[in-house]
Amino acid sequence: MVKIGITGGIGSGKTTIATLLKDRGYPVYIADSEASVLINTHPSIRKALTDQFGSSLYDKGVLNKKKLSDIIFKDKNALSLVNHIVHPVVMEDFIAWSQQQRTNLVFFESAILFEANLAAHFDVIICIYASLQTRIERVRKRDGISPEKVMERIKNQWSDEKKCQQSDFIIYTDRDLDINRQTTEIVKRIESKYFRSPESI
């Protein structure tokens, strides 16, 4: 089984590519969504977070996201600590999930794959790339926020250029590009590399 990481900055088009892969029958693990579940349900995460930030971080068993956001905003070291607590559990969950799949390829989508030092867990990494103008417009429309607010979020992540430099493949998602063709070609190249028939060797 080949484990493939999908990354890219906010508004780059990761969700579109993940949906495209799912529609083709490939399993895709959405790290952000799964982390949100694990933060509320996994005992080791809950204990570590409450030990660090106090029991009031959870309200009736549910994480108080605003309180955690306020803590992180005031203390930059807190974000690193939260990531150190959450990301190893997410990777454990992903590995267990992968073992339940019945496909040659499994995908893991995360905007902060490199920032969280998760790259070593994957055989292949695909960077999803769009121009800065396209990303700002997408997020502005999606979240109903100003371009300035979008830029604040973008600046909190690695640049797409930096992510793509460290990736094996790039999918360009600006409006006039054929993402179906790009995705098909990349998947074929990965399958060809890892699952060549004896006759082709």
Q: Among candidates 130, 111, 106, which has minimal Cα distance to 182? A: 130
Half-sphere exposure of 176 (CA within 13 A, CB side): 1
d(CA 55, CA 45): 12
SS3 for 96? helix
Residues facing 2 on adjacent strands: 105
Query: What is the number of alpha carbons within 13 Å of residue 6 lying toward its C-beta?
Result: 29
Predicted local distance difference test score (pLDDT) of residue 200: 40
Q: Does 199 score more than 70 pLDDT? A: no
* Amino acid occupying residue 11: G
54 marked as binding residue: no
Distances (CA, A) of 163 to 19, 22, 37, 58, 117: 21, 23, 26, 34, 12
Query: Which residues, at least 6 apart from 166, have a Cβ–Cβ distance to it below 8 Å?
Result: 114, 119, 125, 127
pLDDT given for residue 51 in this prediction: 94
CA–CA dist 82, 49 (Å, integer)? 7
- Is the CB of residue 143 less than 8 Å from the CB of residue 41? no
pLDDT digits (tens, 9 = 90+) for 102-156: 999 999 999 999 988 999 999 999 999 999 999 999 999 999 999 998 998 888 8
- Spatial CA neighbour of 28 closest among 139, 113, 121, 103: 103
Q: Which of 159, 133, 125, 121 is nearest to 7 (CA)?
A: 125
Residue 156's pLDDT is 80
pLDDT over 90 at 94, yes or no: yes
Angle CA 130–133–135, to nearest 5: 50
pLDDT band at 201 (very low <50, low <70, confident <90, very high): very low
- What pTM value is reported for the model? 0.89
The answer to whether 16 is a known ligand-binding residue is: yes
| Annotated binding residue 14 | yes
CA angle in degrees (0–180, nearest 5) for 136-16-135? 10
Domains belonging to the chain, first-starting first, are 1-27+101-192 (3.40.50.300), 34-93 (no CATH)
Instruction: Fill in the DSSP letter of residue 198.
Output: G
The answer to whether 13 is annotated as binding is yes
- The tens digit of pLDDT for each residue in 149-179 reads 899 888 888 898 999 999 999 999 997 779 9
Determine the pLDDT at residue 58. 94
Is pLDDT of 38 > 70? yes
Residue % of the chain over a pLDDT of 90 = 77
Residue 198: predicted pLDDT: 45
pLDDT (tens digit, 9 = 90+) per residue, 39-76?
999 999 999 999 999 989 999 889 998 899 888 877 87
